[in-house]
Structure 1
Amino acid sequence: MRRAISKLKPLWHGLVLMGFVLGVLGVLDAVPVFVAAVPPLVLITLIGLGVVLGSVHPRAEEHEPCAMAAPVRGRWAALNTPGQQLPSHGTRFLGQYCAIDILRPTTADTPAKVRKAWRGSRPEEYLSFDAPVHAMAPGVVTRTWSGSRDHRARNTWQGLLYMMSIEGVFRSVAGQRALLGNHVIVRHDDGTAAVYAHLRRGSLSVQAGQRVGVGGQLGEVGNTGNTSEPHLHVHLMDRADPHTAAGLKMTWENITRSGEIEPSLQEIAKEPAENAVRSMPRNGEIFEA
C-alpha cells in the first residue's frame, strides 16, 4: 500500500503546491473567481490530503548494511550522513533513508559557506566540482538525466533564504529531476539500486541500458538540482524507481577514517545517534577512499 501511495507522489505534491499558490494569491487578493466559489473546507481537505499522503514512503525491513565501494577516490568529508543518524536527510522521500552527501575538504581558496555578496560563488571555484564519480557496485544503468545546468552556490544569505523557501518548495513539487539534478541510477546484480545525484552537466559517461562494473566512471560531481554547493549525493534503494523504493543501509568497504573533522563542518560534528550506521563517517568527518 505504501508503494502504491508513494508512486502518486507528484499528485500529492501538486495539491500542496496548489495550496501554496492559493495562499500567495490570497495575500495579494487575487484569487480567481472560480476558485473563490469552491467551499474553503473542500480546498483545505484537498491540501491536507496532499500533505498527509505526500508523507507516506516505503520502508525496508531491518537489515545489515549492504557492503559497497565508495563512489569517489581521495580525501572527502561527509555531510547529512547515515553515520550520524537515520533518516540521514530527515526524510525517506525518493528512497533517501540512508543517503549521504560528500564534498572535498576545504582549503584557503574554498569559498565560505556563507558570504556577503550579491551572487553566489561559481561552481568551478570548489574542489569537489568535476571530480570523477564511480559505480559502487556492478550493474546496469536504468536511468540518466543530464539536462540541468550547474548553478551558482547558495552561499549568500539571500541565496540560502531563496533555496530554503521558494526554490525548495518548487523543486520538491517538480519532482525527481528538479531535486536530484543530473543523475544516474544503477540497478545492481542483487536487485538493489543506487542513485548518484547533482552531477555536472555534460559529464555523464554512461547511458541507460549500459552495464558498468564496480569502480566504473559514471560522470563528475556538479552543482545541479537541490544543492547549495558542488557535492555528490548518493543513496541505496531496494529497487530502481525512487518513487516506489525503500531506502537501504549501506557501508563503504574501501575507506579509511582518521576521525579528523572538516573545519567548516565543525558545528555539526556531534556524537552519532543510537540508530546511526557506525561503519560510515559521521557529520563533518574526513575519510579517504
Structure 2
Amino acid sequence: MNVAPQRASVAGMIRPIHWLLLPGLALLSAFGQAQEEAPATIARQSFDVTVPQAPTPVRMLGRAQLTYEIHLTNFSDSPLTVKRVRIVDPADRIVADVAGEALERRLTRVSGPGRAVAPGYRSILFVETDLQPGNVPRSLRPVIDYKVAGDDRLFRTEAPWQEIRAASPVVLGPPLAGGPWAAVHDPSWQRGHRRVFYTIDGRARLPGRYAIDFIKLDLQGRTTTGDADRTGDAFGYGDDVLAVADGEIVGMRDDVAESPLISRNPAHPLGEGAGNYVALRLRNGQVAFYEHLRPGNVRVRPGERVRQGQVIGTLGFTGDTTGPHLHFHLADANSLLGAEGVPFVFDRFTLLGRIDDMAQFGKAPWHAPMDLTPERRREWPGFNTVLAFGTVESLKPRQTRR
C-alpha cells in the first residue's frame, strides 16, 4: 500500500469543521441511518477486514473516545461498493452506524476518497466514536453491507471480533506552559495527522493518530503580533518546550534551518518534515515526539535522562509547517514515521473553549460555551479546543525574538 509522500501538517488544517465532539454526542451513531434491506444469503468472495491497531479508550470531554481504523481489502474479482458499516458489541447493540454522506467522508481508498473498492484494492474506514466511560465493551466487530458491480442485491460481511485494549493511556505532564494554546486536531481532515499513513520499513503505519499541533493565541484569538509573515512575531515562538515525563532522550535533531518569513519556508524531503525534533522514551517504552523546534535551541542529547517539566528545547518553525507551533505525539517505537501513534492524556489542564470555524482561526475569538467545565483531569484535549497549562499570561509581545 502506498500513500503520497507528504507529511501531515497544520497546512491541511485550515478548513471548515464538519463536527466537533461535545459531551453526550455519539459521532457515528448519530449519522444517517440507511433503510434496512435484507442481505443476500449466498456465499461469495468479498472483503478481508482487518484492524491493525486495536482501539484503546481515551477520555475526552468526559467521554470514552475510541479512535481506530478498519481496513477493507477487496479479494473478489468485481468492484465492491460499501453501503453501510455498523459496529456492534457482544450484546448486538449498535455502537456506531455510518452510511450515506458520512460514509463518503470516512471511507478513504489508498488512491483517494470513494466507496467503490476495485479488485485487489484497499479502503480504510476511519472510526471515532464515544462511549460512556463505565460502559466500554470488551470487544467490537464491524458489519459491512456492500453491493457488487452489476448486481442489485445487498451483501453483508460480518468481520471477526476485535478486542478493545483494557490498558489505560499514559498520563503526561504538560509539553508547554501557560496559554492560551489551540489544540489543533480534527479527524475529518483528509490530510490531517489522523489520516496520513507512512509506509516505512515495509508496513503502513499511522504515527499521527493522536497527534496535536499546539498553536499559541492571544486573548482575542490571534496567532501573531505585528507582521503575520514574520516567524518571530508569532505568539509562542521561542516558548520553552517541556519534558512530559521522566525518561531518556533517544533521538534529536538541531541543525534544520528556519525561515525568517513564513511565506518562504521551503519544501522538505519526507525524512525532514519534522524539522528539529526531540524523541523522549518514557518508562513504559513509548516515545514522545516534539517537532518543529527552533534551531540551536535543543538542550538535550541522546542518552541523557530528563525529569518531567525540564526544558528540552523551544518552539520554532522548522520542517514542513505553515506557522510556528509544537507538534506533539506519542508512539509505540522510536521512529518519526515508522511507528504507530498511541493515546495519551494530560494530568490536568484548563479548558477555555473551542474553535467553531477553522476558516476564522487566528482572526476571531474562540467560543466559550456557557456549560463549559474548565478544569480537566486526565483527558486527551478535544478536537480544536483552546486550553491552558497552568496560568494564562498576559501575552505581551517580546522585544527580541530573532
Distance apart, 1:185 and its partner CA: 0.5
Task: Classify 1:227/1:13 alpha carbon distance in 2 versus 1 (closer, same or farther; 3 Å).
Answer: closer
Judge conservation of contact 1:76–1:102 (CA < 8 Å) in 2.
no
Note closer, same or farther for the CA distance 1:126–1:180 as it changes in structure 2 (3 Å cut): same
Once residues 279 and 232 of structure 1 are traced to their aligned partners in structure 2, the CA distance between those partners, rounded to angstroms, is 16
Deviation at residue 249 of structure 1 after TM alignment:
1.0
Structure with the bigger RCO (C-alpha within 8 Å, sep 6+) is 1
Aligned to 1:149: 257
Q: CA RMSD, aligned part only?
A: 4.1
- State which structure, 1 or 2, has the greater radius of gyration over its C-alpha atoms: 2
83-92 or 140-149: which moved more?
83-92
Does the CA contact (< 8 Å) of 1:153 and 1:230 recur in 2?
no
> Which stretches in structure 2 are left out of the alignment for 5+ residues?
7-109, 113-120, 125-162, 199-205, 370-377, 391-402
Partner of 1:255: 349
Residues 139-218 of structure 1: matches in 2 within 5 Å?
A: 139-154=247-262, 159=263, 171=268, 174-177=269-272, 179-218=273-312
SS in 2 for 1:197: strand
1:71 is aligned to 2:179 = no
Please state if 1:106 is matched with 2:218: yes
Normalising by the residue count of structure 2, what TM-score does the alignment of the two structures yield? 0.46
TM-score, normalised on structure 1? 0.61
Change (3 A) 1:227 1:62: farther
Give the secondary-structure state (helix, strand or coil) at the position aligned to 1:124: helix
Partners of 2:293 and 2:315 within 8 A in 1: yes
Shift of 1:80: 3.0
Letter of the aligned partner of 1:197 in structure 2? E
Partner of 1:235: 329
Aligned-partner Cα distance in 2 for 1:72–1:84:
26
Instruction: Please say if residues 183 and 196 of structure 1, whose CA atoms lie closer than 8 Å, have aligned partners that are also in contact.
Output: yes
Q: Distance in 2 between matches of 1:110 and 1:260?
A: 15
Residue of structure 2 in register with 1:244 after alignment: 338
Q: How many residues align?
A: 217
Corresponding residue to 1:136 among 244, 255, 265: 244
Structure 1: unaligned runs, 5 residues or longer: 15-49, 272-276
The CA deviation string for residues 18-67 of structure 1, in whole angstroms up to 9 with x for no partner, is xxxxxxxxxxxxxxxxxxxxxxxxxxxxxxxx9799x99xxxx8544321
Residue equivalent to 1:220: 314
Instruction: Determine if contact 1:265/1:284 at 8 Å carries over to the other structure.
Output: no
Q: Is the 8 A contact 1:80 1:89 kept in 2?
A: no
> Take 1:127 and 1:67, find their aligned partners in 2: how far apart are those partners?
27
Contact kept, 8 Å, 2:355 with 2:366, in 1: the verdict is: no
Render the CA deviation track for 1:68-99: whole Å, top value 9, x for unaligned.
11101101322433699997543244611110
| Equivalent-residue separation in structure 1 for 2:366 and 2:187 (angstroms) | 13
Residues 232-255 of structure 1 deviation map (CA, whole Å, 9 limit, x = unaligned): 110000111233210011111121
Preserved contact between residue 281 and residue 287 of structure 1 (Cα < 8 Å):
no
Aligned residue for 1:246, secondary structure, equals coil
1:266–1:84 distance in 2 versus 1, CA, 3 Å: farther
Task: Say which structure is richer in strand.
Answer: 2
Secondary structure of 2:348 counterpart: coil
Aligned amino acid, residue 211 of structure 2? A
State the alpha-carbon separation in 2 of the partners of residues 150 and 80 from structure 1: 22
Q: Confirm whether residue 286 of structure 1 aligns to residue 391 of structure 2.
A: no
How far is the alpha carbon of 1:215 from its aligned partner? 1.2
In 2: Cα distance, 1:193 partner to 1:102 partner: 18
- Quick one: distance in 1 between partners of 2:231 and 2:312? 19
Q: Residues of 2 paired with 1:92 and 1:286: CA distance? A: 28
CA distance in 2, matches of 1:214, 1:266: 34
Separation of aligned partners in 1, 2:341 and 2:363: 25
Which residue number in structure 2 is paired with residue 37 of structure 1? none
Query: How far is the alpha carbon of 1:281 from its aligned partner?
Result: 3.5
1:133 maps to a residue whose letter is: V
Residues 119-149 of structure 1: per-residue CA shift (max 9 Å, x gap): x622111121110001111111111111112
1:191 Cα deviation from its structure 2 partner: 0.6
The answer as to 2:207 corresponding to 1:95 is yes
The 2-side partners of 1:248 and 1:62 are apart by 14
Tell me if the contact between 2:207 and 2:337 (Cα under 8 Å) persists in the aligned partners.
yes
Name the aligned partner's letter for residue 250 of structure 2: T
Equivalent AA in structure 2 for residue 77 of structure 1: W
User: Counterpart of 1:98 in 2: which secondary structure?
Assistant: coil
For residues 150 and 62 of structure 1, the distance between their equivalents in structure 2, rounded to whole angstroms, comes to: 42
Q: Which amino acid aligns with 2:182?
A: A
Considering fraction of residues, name the structure with more helix.
Answer: 1
SS at match of 2:232: helix
Structure 1 residues 232, 100: CA separation in 2 closer, same or farther (over 3 Å shift)?
A: same
